[in-house]
Amino acid sequence: MNGKEVFRFAVRCVPQSIEKALEEAGLPASSIDWLLLHQANQRIIDAAANRLSIPSEKVISNLANYGNTSAASIPLALDEAVRGGKVKTGDIIAASGFGAGLTWGSAIVKWG
């Protein structure tokens, strides 16, 4: 794996994908309560949040606790955030995953 290329790819494509999903949902970026990304690398998470102008206190990350749990990273981090009381009914979550040959996808979810 070429780490630099994966980083550049993720930092470029993930924010674009989230912006497109927000547009399709008819929501501004300011409506995001939580940013939930594939937990591959904290630098990627931080850079994507920065590109989207989302402050770190609105980013769900458990990477430091578990490392990259592959396809399970988004559901595990979401479950932990819900059980921990962070995510509440009505919150808007912008989620995005990437990997597996540099594919990606995003979703905007209203929790509850």
pLDDT at residue number 99: 80
State pLDDT tens for residues 60-106. 999 999 988 888 999 999 999 999 999 999 999 999 998 867 789 99
Q: Is 48 exposed, middle or buried (0-12, 13-18, 19+ CB in 10 A)?
A: buried
pLDDT at residue number 1: 64
Reported pTM: 0.93
Rg for the chain (alpha carbons), in Å?
13
Phi then psi for residue 73, to 5 deg, are -65, -40
pLDDT, mean of residues 45-65 = 96
pLDDT at residue number 102: 76
What domains can be seen in the chain, in order of their start residue?
3-111 (3.40.47.10)
Q: Which residue has the higher pLDDT, 4 or 21?
A: 21
% of the chain at pLDDT higher than 90: 79
